Amino acid sequence: MPQIVLENICKYYNGFRALENITVTIEDNATTAIVGPSGGGKSTLIQLINGLVRPDRGRVVVFGEPIDYNDLPRLRRQIGYAVQGTGLFPHMKVWDNITLLAKLADWDRSKTIKRAECLMDLVDLSRSLKDRYPHELSGGEQQRVGLCRAMMLNPKIFLLDEPFAALDPITRDEIHGEFLSLQKSEARTVVMVTHDLREALRLARRLVILKNGMIIQENTREQVLRNPANEFVKSLVHSQLENWSLDDIR
């Protein structure tokens, strides 16, 4: 059974249709990117997976069971979630931000230290930053702390909502590289929202293209580039990928 399955999902906000009849199975241990214009329902879709959003119709099956909305903490311990702007606690030091979930889960000290240091090394975050507060870090460093925090409990599923959007291009490029090496060393099921098709193609194997609450195309990145489902996908690809070819993602 795949880890994440969405079945016939509809979601309305005050009568406004945010998602219409969404059915999709997310590939295990690979990265899937949700792309499409703003307001298309991308964040709503990703938040269905950790129960932050509850569907009006249909069901969300995670780890083989429909989500139990009466026991969301249990689900969320197994799902890392990182959002744009990092969501770090400003009054807590870097180390405390990173290890917060381990503390809540009652991990012992040596296991916590080992895991946190291993993650800091993986994302190339200097240990000398442990005692700083988030506002004493650069944007790229804050983002790395956010990644470490979300990965702390080694979640099987990792949800990323525009996590790199606020970074300058060079830092974003570096963090993309670190994300890919993290996936190589600890492959997990990642669902990421992005409005940047280049980012999606670099990081994800599969794409879900969402517009006005509907899935326009869902396939591997190669298939989307080779066989865009319709004019909308074609123009999305053309507008964002000038002078680009499949070779750029190999």
33, 35, 42, 208: which one contacts ligand ADP (CB under 6 A)?
Answer: 42
State how far the Cα of 164 lies from the Cα of 175, in Å rounded to an integer: 8
In which residue are the tokens 């190999």 written?
Answer: 250
Q: Does 26 sit near ligand ADP (CB under 6 A)?
A: no
Applying CB under 6 A, among 26, 41, 188, 191 the residue interacting with ligand ADP is 41
- Counting contacts by CB under 6 A, is residue 43 touching ligand ADP? yes
By DSSP bridging, strand 16-26 and strand 4-13 are antiparallel
Q: Is 86 in the site for ligand ADP (CB under 6 A)?
A: no
- Residue 98 as a binder of ligand ADP (CB under 6 A): the answer is no
Strands 31-35, 189-193: pairing kind: parallel
Interacting residue with ligand ADP among 39, 77, 177, 226 (CB under 6 A): 39
Cβ partners under 8 Å of residue 90, min gap 6: 133, 134, 135
Residues in CB range of 59: below 8 A, 6 or more apart:
7, 8, 9, 66, 67
In the complex, minimum distance from the CB of residue 246 to ligand ADP, in angstroms, rounded to a whole number: 26
Q: Pick between residue 18 and residue 62 the one whose CB is nearest to ligand ADP.
A: 18
> Cβ contacts of residue 131 below 8 Å, gap of 6+?
93, 94, 95
Query: Judged by CB under 6 A, does residue 13 bind ligand ADP?
Result: yes
The Cα 223–Cα 229 span in angstroms is 9
Q: Does 44 bind ligand ADP (CB under 6 A)?
A: yes
Cβ nearer to ligand ADP, comparing 31 with 43: 43
Closest separation in Å from C-beta 160 to ligand ADP: 13
Contact between 18 and ligand ADP (CB under 6 A)?
Answer: yes
Nearer to ligand ADP, 3 or 44 (CB): 44
With tokens 């994300």, the residue in question is 179
The number of C-alpha atoms within 13 Å of 65 and in the hemisphere containing its C-beta is 7
Q: Give min distance, CB of 19 to ligand ADP, in A.
A: 8
Binding footprint of ligand ADP on the chain (CB under 6 A): 13, 18, 38-44
